[in-house]
Structure 1
Amino acid sequence: MFNVPSLVSLHICVINNKWRTLKKILKISIAIYCFLISDVSIAQISDDKRLWLHYFNSIKLNKKWSVDTDAAYLHQFDLTANRIQARSGVKYKINKNFSVRIGMGYFYVFDPEGANVSEIRPNQDIIGKHYISRNKSWFFTQRARFEEQFLTTTIEDELIKGKDQKNRLRYSYMIRKAINSWTFGIGGEMFINFNDKSTNAFVNKHRAYAVINKKINDNLALEAQYIREDSFKYQQGSIYHADVLRLCVKQVIHTKK
Structure 2
Amino acid sequence: MVIVLMPLFAHAQKTVRHSNQQWVQYYNQLKLNSHWTLMTDGGFRWADKFSTKALFIARIGIGYNINSHLRVGAGLASTGAYSSSSLSKLEYRPYQELFASYKYGRVGLQHRFRVEERYFKSVVDGDPQSGHNFNFRLRYQISANIPLLKLSPDNPDKILSLGIGDEIFINAGREIVNNILDKNRIIIGPAVQFNKQLTVALSYTHQYSQLATAGAYAHDDVMWLAIRHNLDLSKHKPE
Give your verdict on TM over 0.5: yes
Partner of 1:29: none
Look at both structures and tell me which one has the larger radius of gyration over its CA atoms.
Answer: 1
- The AA in structure 2 aligned to 1:84 is F
- Cα 1:80/1:160, change in 2 over 3 Å: farther
1:196-219 CA-partner distances (Å, limit 9, x unpaired): 487324322101110311011121
CA distance in 2, matches of 1:219, 1:209: 22
Partner of 2:109: 140
- Cα 1:175/1:168, change in 2 over 3 Å: same
CA distance in 2, matches of 1:238, 1:129: 36
- 1:242 maps to which of 188, 201, 220: 220
Query: How many aligned positions are there?
Result: 219
2:13 aligned counterpart, secondary structure: helix
CA distance in 1, matches of 2:10, 2:142: 23
Q: TM-score, normalised by structure 2?
A: 0.81
Query: Would you say the 8 A contact 1:108–1:116 is kept in 2?
Result: yes
CA distance in 1, matches of 2:113, 2:231: 25
| Further displaced range: 225-234 or 212-221 | 225-234
1:200 aligned counterpart, secondary structure: coil
Query: Would you say the 8 A contact 2:45–2:53 is kept in 1?
Result: no
**2:55 is aligned with 1:77:** no
1:187-245 CA-partner distances (Å, limit 9, x unpaired): 210001112487324322101110311011121111111111101269x7772110111
1:18-63 CA-partner distances (Å, limit 9, x unpaired): xxxxxxxxxxxxxxxxx9x965873442111111010011111112
* Identity within the alignment, %: 23
| Further displaced range: 71-80 or 49-58 | 71-80
Partner of 1:119: 91
**2:136 is aligned with 1:167:** yes
- 2:206 maps to which of 222, 225, 228: 228
- Cα 1:43/1:126, change in 2 over 3 Å: farther
- The AA in structure 2 aligned to 1:195 is G
- Cα 1:213/1:40, change in 2 over 3 Å: farther
Partner of 1:62: 33
Name whichever structure is richer in strand by fraction: 2
- 2:17 maps to which of 34, 42, 46: 46
CA distance in 1, matches of 2:199, 2:94: 27
- The AA in structure 2 aligned to 1:222 is V
- Cα 1:44/1:173, change in 2 over 3 Å: farther
User: Gaps spanning 5+ residues in structure 1: where?
Assistant: 1-34
- Cα 1:210/1:162, change in 2 over 3 Å: same
CA distance in 1, matches of 2:117, 2:36: 24
Cα offset for 1:140? 1.4
RMSD over aligned Cα, in angstroms?
2.7
Cα offset for 1:175? 2.2
Partner of 2:156: none
Partner of 1:104: 76
CA distance in 2, matches of 1:198, 1:101: 26
CA distance in 1, matches of 2:176, 2:93: 24
1:105-158 CA-partner distances (Å, limit 9, x unpaired): 11112334666111111111100112122xxx1121110111011111022135
| Further displaced range: 243-252 or 193-202 | 193-202
- The AA in structure 2 aligned to 1:189 is E
User: Gaps spanning 5+ residues in structure 2: where?
Assistant: 1-5, 151-158
| Further displaced range: 161-170 or 146-155 | 161-170
- 1:157 maps to which of 115, 120, 126: 126
Q: TM-score, normalised by structure 1?
A: 0.76
- Cα 1:187/1:108, change in 2 over 3 Å: same
